[in-house]
Amino acid sequence: MSTYSISEVAKELNLTTYTLRYYDKEGLLPFVERTPNGTRLFKESDIGALRIIECLKSTGMPIKEIKSFIDWCQDGDSTLQQRFDMFLERKAAVEAQLAELNKTMEIINHKCDYYKTALDAGTEDIHKDDKIGSLN
Amino acid sequence: MSTYSISEVAKELNLTTYTLRYYDKEGLLPFVERTPNGTRLFKESDIGALRIIECLKSTGMPIKEIKSFIDWCQDGDSTLQQRFDMFLERKAAVEAQLAELNKTMEIINHKCDYYKTALDAGTEDIHKDDKIGSLN
DNA sequence: TTAACCCTTATAGTTAACTCTAAGTCAAGC
DNA sequence: GCTTGACTTAGAGTTAACTATAAGGGTTAA
C-alpha cells in the first residue's frame, strides 16, 4: 500500500505543509501514522479524509467543529446519530449559502447590465432615474 | 427627506454600530453626511449603497477593494470601464463559488444518505465496501 | 562526507474583519 | 441642573486560520 509525504499531500490538495501540520496539531488528523522517527505517512484513505475535511470547511464549518466530527468518527456506531444530524445541518447551511449567492448573482447581473449600457452611452447619466443608491 | 441614525441603519441591515463606524473609518462611506456636531445622518440612498457594499462583501471581496470601487464611484464617468470590469470579475467569482458549493452539496448529500442507511441498520459496517476515507 | 532537502517541534507573527473600551460631547426629560 | 442615553474619537483587544521562524534531526546524491 502506497503512502505519501506531507509535501506530496499538500501539493495534491493545494494546501501547504504548514496548514497540514496545523490541522494535525488541532486534532483533525489522528489517523495519520508515523515512521519510527516521527515522519507522517499519509495513506490514500487519509487523503480521502482530508477531502471531506476540506468539504466541511467549504460549508463554513470552523475547525473546532470539524474536530468534533473526527472524534465521533473514532468513536464508532454510538455516534451515528450525531454525525447524521451534523450533515443535515451542513446541508441546510449550504442551501442557505446557495440561496444568498443566487441573490447576490442577480444584483451583480443588474450591475453588469447597468455598466454595459452606461459605457455604450459614454455616461452614467443615462441611468439617472433608476439609481439604486449613492453607489453604482 | 427622511434620515436615519447609525443605530437604525445597523438594525435595518443586521450590522452593529461598531461595524458601520469601522466601514466609515475604512473609507467605505464618504457620502454619509453629518450634523453640525458630527453625528452621522444616513439617507435612504446611503442604505442602498450599504446594500451594494454587503453584496460585494458576500462575493468575498475584501474591504480595501470595495473602497477602490467607492472611490471610482466618486470619480464619475471616467471610471465606468473599471467599474464594469470589476463587476464582470465579481460575476466570475460568484459563478466559481456556486460551482464549488454545488460540488460540496453533492458530497453532503452522499453523506446524508450514508448515515440514513447506517442509522437504519444500526451500524456503519453496512458501508464497509464504499468507504470514501478514514472518515465517514 | 557534506551539502541539499526534507522532516520534526515549539512558538511567534500576520491578516482581515471586526469588537470593544475609554474618554468625552451633546440633546432631551425629570 | 442633572442624569440618561446616543453619539463622537482614538486606539486596544479578539478571533480564526493560517504562515513563518528557529533550532535541530534523518536521508539521499555528488
Q: Find which nucleotide's C1' atom is closest to A18's CA.
A: D19
Under the banding of pLDDT at 50, 70 and 90, the label for residue A129 is: low
* Rounded Cα gap, residues B55 and B40, in angstroms: 22
A40-43 and A3-4: which strand pairing? Answer: antiparallel
- Is the predicted pLDDT of residue A39 greater than 70, yes or no? yes
Q: Is B29 helix (H, G, I), strand (E, B) or coil?
A: coil
Distance A61 CA to C21 C1' (A): 31
Same domain for A54 and A1, yes or no, is yes
Cell numbers at A128, concatenated: 439617472
| Whole-number average pLDDT of chain B | 92
The strand pairing partners of A87, in sequence order, are: none
Select the residue of B69, B80, B98 nearest A119 (Cβ to Cβ): B80
CB within 8 A of A134, min separation 6: which ones? B31, B43, B45, B46, B48, B49, B73
- Domain with residue A25: its CATH number is 1.10.1660.10
Residue A133 resides in a domain:
no
Same domain for A100 and A57, yes or no, is no
Residue A136 resides in a domain:
no
Q: How many domains does chain B have?
A: 2
Residue B33 resides in a domain:
yes
pLDDT at A106: 97
Same domain for B1 and B42, yes or no, is yes
Under the banding of pLDDT at 50, 70 and 90, the label for residue A12 is: very high
Residue A58 resides in a domain:
yes
Contact A36, A69 (CB under 8 A): no
Same domain for A12 and A53, yes or no, is yes
Cell numbers at B123, concatenated: 451500524
- Is the predicted pLDDT of residue A131 greater than 70, yes or no? no
Give tens-digit pLDDT for A54-91: 999 999 999 999 999 999 999 999 999 999 999 999 99
Name the residue range of residue B125's domain.
Answer: 80-136
Contact A55 B107 (CB under 8 A): yes
Contact B84 A132 (CB under 8 A): no
Instruction: Output B93-100 pairs: Cβ under 8 A, ≥24 positions apart.
Output: B93/B59, B93/B60, B93/B61, B94/A101, B94/A104, B94/A105, B94/A108, B94/B59, B95/A105, B97/A101, B97/B59, B97/B60, B98/A98, B98/A101, B98/A102, B98/A105, B100/A58
Closest-CA residue in chain B for A103? B55
Residue B75 resides in a domain:
no
Residue A23 resides in a domain:
yes
Contact A134 B102 (CB under 8 A): no
Contact B10, B17 (CB under 8 A): yes
Contact B83 A115 (CB under 8 A): yes
Same domain for A93 and A52, yes or no, is no
Average confidence (pLDDT) over A14-21: 94
Residue A7 resides in a domain:
yes
pLDDT at B123: 93
pLDDT at B127: 84
pLDDT lower than 70: segments of chain B:
1, 129-134
pLDDT at B131: 59
Average confidence (pLDDT) over A32-45: 89
How many Cα atoms sit within 13 Å of A120 on the Cβ side? Answer: 8
User: Which of A70, A108, A116, A119 is the mutation pick for testing B, counting most B CBs within 10 A?
Assistant: A108
Q: Which among A45, A106, A115 is positioned nearest to B136, based on CA atoms?
A: A45
pLDDT at B134: 61
Same domain for B48 and B93, yes or no, is no
Task: Write the single-letter amino acid at A115.
Answer: Y
Residue A11 resides in a domain:
yes
Q: Which among B57, B78, B81, B76 is positioned nearest to B67, based on CA atoms?
A: B57
Higher confidence at residue A21 or residue B38? A21
The ipTM estimated for the assembled molecules is: 0.89
Same domain for A42 and A64, yes or no, is yes
Same domain for A109 and A96, yes or no, is yes
| End-to-end Cα distance, chain A | 58
Quickly count helices (H) and strands (E) in chain B: 5, 3
Give tens-digit pLDDT for B39-70: 899 999 999 999 999 999 999 999 999 999 99
* Rounded Cα gap, residues B118 and B85, in angstroms: 50
Same domain for A25 and A54, yes or no, is yes
Same domain for A3 and A70, yes or no, is yes
